[in-house]
Chains A and B, each alone.
Chain A
């Protein structure tokens, strides 16, 4: 019995620093809510539903335990927690080294586990702060993983909870051992004001943060391996189909990867909203109503055109791919990396002029054909399959339909060349490349004549191409509902000389063929335009309506460059344009509509935003400092410092009377400086002492009392001072 009592006593030994124990329930409640929310957010994008359920239960139980056992040392629990943490570390290392799971998922799982363990040991206020900090880390993990705007709602709620928690924390900490005056409920005002400040200042701060585009240490994102097609794959196109249960995403890269069915283009196009440019033979008379559904999100430093298929041959009124099969490239070892190094290709060497490596990660939101979308020109590919096919036009295809949830990354060499340099490129370039890019068969004489007419005055390749693009833009109307060419008619001829209306495929085809007629190698490309940039998530959102066709023109020494002759497209060669929130704001709200000073200011901001990173960082720091300074100055100005406790008028009169009297009384010259008004009466002659004391009392009231004196007091003080001054003349 006594042994049991002893054990119970040992288990209930008191906490050794009871003064540090936190008793406040709202503080714990807000922290718990923030932690629970962070668990949900972190688990949402990692799919860790079981750890989430376990973590939520454990965290809730832990918070309750910590509150009710806060006055006890709980040494036995600490031992159990230490053991649990060691186990968590062991599991983490094991998962990182010996499994193929995504590292960030493993890390998130461990953080959830640690958060759950830590919640059982929160006796002190500081422990709650640590708990909130780890919740903040989980929110950051959620932010890293999140690709949608939903995260903004969770973040807003988390920030409100964290602000409330921190405000209560600050209140508790600073009011400790102090006389508290005021209602603690006014903390809500503080939180509300701060939330408003965050909301108001956010649009100012967010675009100013410099964006460095690096991949210094991050693993490039790539999803689990896709199940590859069963039959022999030699680069042919495959399309998704509604019964897509037959294919799926495998968790790993094992040799047992299953293969799925090969869906036909007819069934794909029969879906109604599929783009007809992703078929082996592009018929210019086809037209499908494109859907506005989100197809993929692209994390990219710049707005780039995502190439899908490249058509090099125009034959029988159809655009075709001459090298339909292409070359098979196999990934190296166990990693899903494809080096698209074709060092023997002179074109590849020349493309390095003014080029930079850029990283583009694709997150597919819907099932897509087996085309790899990537900017020109692909250099390295992280893709979850065993092998890929790349044709002569550097268009890539994989042996599996791309499924929703597929993630891959393409590293591309995006060129950037000064137009003036480009203008110096010698003409004619055609003998440099394959004849198929220069073929002018299946072109009507009228079309050839038109090409020569348009480019007659131009000497350089660039001038000729721009002349063709300008001609198309000036003389033809973009019309998504343009009627198809009559049966048997040449669709481009019909567009150029009959209807004079068309959509992107017509413009691109016309430009490609006119360029060939002018002796310039060209090819037609289908894919997607950059999509809508979301400044909050940082992703480009590519929808079905972003499907597009454009042209690639060959320049000697330089290589292939993109041109978009569609009237809404950019003029001149299309280079990757870096997009930042600031440039987004400029493009969206200022470009084209701003005038005068507004335009100058907007252009200045835009220039700052796209300047080199260190200049951007310096300007941002300057702007933040200016904002903080302005805030401070405005606030200080509103405060209008009054100085030392200003005296009301009558009080000031009384004080002045007394102080002038002090200077008039000679016996006070040697009085200690620290003596009070009343003290000084000791030095005053006996017969004048009462008057002095009366005046001193008035002075004390005037200076130290918060209440104002009335005019009668001021008159009395003045009279007394006058009497005492007259009395001083005796000395």
Chain B
């Protein structure tokens, strides 16, 4: 109730002023005060009617990109249209936010929208969460001409998007090289791991060509690492993602997200850098196969929609073709 009254706060203030002036005018019999009261009444009438009328004539639509990456900048498109034959002023698209999306800036102020015209506005945002993003409604407010009374109208929107996990090419490369382990120091046998695909890694031996040195890994490991091609390119790799909620500690969603990002980065590297096919499977979801970069988008959609599953979902252990396993459980053996 108080909030509803607060929306009319300035109008009530104006009415109180007019009432006070009326009292004085009737007592002092001042003609000019009646003139002032007339102006105040007209102002009040226009302040109520104009914003409401303006908003009735306006429509708003929004579109989000079909796919976007969690944490990376993306652009939404807002289209506001003035369907009337009168130009509208001082419209404000406000509170542009929905679960998982925060726009910056989160409001748009349109000084003037000509009659029978539309205006397309780009709004930047970075998805804060992975999965399905829905922009179901947005509000447009108008306080024209003077903001004495502000009308607000909510518009239902149909803008949806999918936010997939962040894909880091560098991390994918490192993961491929370390057999799916993100931190090479965590595994004492790290330098013994065989690269499954184009080359293997070993410690530097005097006489090795400088061209063979893997400089990035050398920098991370703190000692010279060289790569040695064995000539055998890998055509297909399996990635297993553990999405059994029972394996995650309470509140382990962020851990799961991190694993997904690693899996996505790895898959991206395998598909785009090494030209391999990838089968992504999960413990509690049907898998997906990516044969070529053309079908990479399907993998992203799969990665965007996969969730932690609990309950009586038929669990699948990582199969024998799972070259890389992403699980919160401690691995007994480095795969690859």
A681: which B residues are within 8 A, CB to CB? 298, 301
Contact A140 B56 (CB under 8 A): no
Interface of A is mostly: helix
Set of chain A residues within 8 Å of B79, measured between Cβ atoms: 645, 706
Contact indicator per residue, chain A 628-663, by CB within 8 Å of chain B (1) or not (0): 100110011011111111000000000000000000
Chain A stretch 108-165: residues in CB contact (< 8 A) with chain B: 139-140, 142-144, 146, 151-152, 155, 159, 163
Q: B84 contacts the other chain (Cβ, under 8 Å)?
A: yes
Residues from chain A with a CB closer than 8 A to the CB of B26 are 211-214, 216
Query: Interface size bucket, B side?
Result: 35 or more
CB under 8 Å from chain A, chain B span 287-303: 298, 301-302
Contact residues in B for A139 (Cβ distance below 8 Å): 36
Stretch from B141-149, B168-176, B272-280 that touches the partner: B141-149
> Are A218 and B134 interface neighbours, CB within 8 A?
no
Structural contact, B84 and A171, CB atoms closer than 8 A: no
Instruction: Across the interface, name the chain B residue whose C-beta is closest to A678.
Output: B66
The answer on a CB contact under 8 Å between B66 and A700 is: yes
Is the CB–CB distance between B83 and A640 below 8 Å?
A: yes
- The listed residue (B21, B84, B123, B301) touching A638 by CB distance below 8 A is B84
Q: CB distance B84 to A640 under 8 Å?
A: yes
Contact indicator A704/B63 (Cβ below 8 Å): yes
A628: contacting residue among B45, B77, B92, B110, CB under 8 A: B45
* CA of A35 to CA of B156, assembled, Å: 45
Kindly provide the distance from the CB of A91 to the nearest chain B CB, expressed in whole angstroms. 23
Which of B157-165, B200-208, B314-322 makes up part of the contact surface? B157-165
Q: Which residues of B contact A159 (CB under 8 A)?
A: 39
Q: Mark B30-71, 1 if CB is under 8 A from A, else 0.
A: 111111111101110110111011001101110100110000
Which B residues are CB-close (under 8 A) to A183? 111-112
Q: Are A639 and B57 in contact (CB under 8 A)?
A: yes
Query: Does B119 sit at the interface, judged by CB under 8 A?
Result: yes
Residues A704 and B146 in contact, CB atoms below 8 Å apart:
no
8 Å CB interface, B1-40 against A:
21-22, 24, 26-39
**Cβ distance A676 to chain B, nearest Cβ, rounded Å:** 5
| Bound-state Cα–Cα, A485 to B38, Å | 54
Looking at B45, B61, B77, the one whose CB has the most chain A CB atoms below 10 A away is B45
- Contacts of B157-211 to chain A: CB distance below 8 A: 158-162
Closest chain A residue to B23 by CB distance? Answer: A216
Q: With an 8 A cutoff between CB atoms, is A16 at the interface?
A: no
User: How far apart are the CA atoms of A171 and B113 in the complex, in Å?
Assistant: 15
User: Chain A residues near B94 (CB, 8 Å)?
Assistant: 178
Given A642-B59, A681-B298, verify A194-B24 contact (CB < 8 Å).
no
Contact check, B56 vs A676: say whether CB atoms are below 8 A apart: no
| B137 adjacent to chain A (CB < 8 Å) | no
The answer to whether A635 and B61 touch (CB under 8 A), given A214-B27, A299-B29, A704-B159, is no
Among the stretches A62-70, A184-192, A332-340, the one at the interface with B is A184-192
State in angstroms the CA–CA spacing of A140 and B59 once bound together: 42
The interface residues of chain A lying within 8 Å CB-to-CB of B105 are 177-179
Distance in Å from the Cβ of A120 to the closest Cβ of chain B? 25
Complex contact A146–B109 (CB within 8 A): no
List 9 A-B pairs, minimum CB-CB distance, nearest first: A538-B31, A182-B111, A170-B147, A639-B57, A143-B32, A704-B63, A639-B84, A635-B53, A212-B26
Since A206-B35, A631-B46, A635-B84 are in contact, a sample of 8 more A-B pairs with Cβ atoms closer than 8 Å, ordered by chain A residue number, is: A152-B32, A174-B90, A179-B109, A212-B26, A538-B29, A636-B53, A640-B83, A645-B61
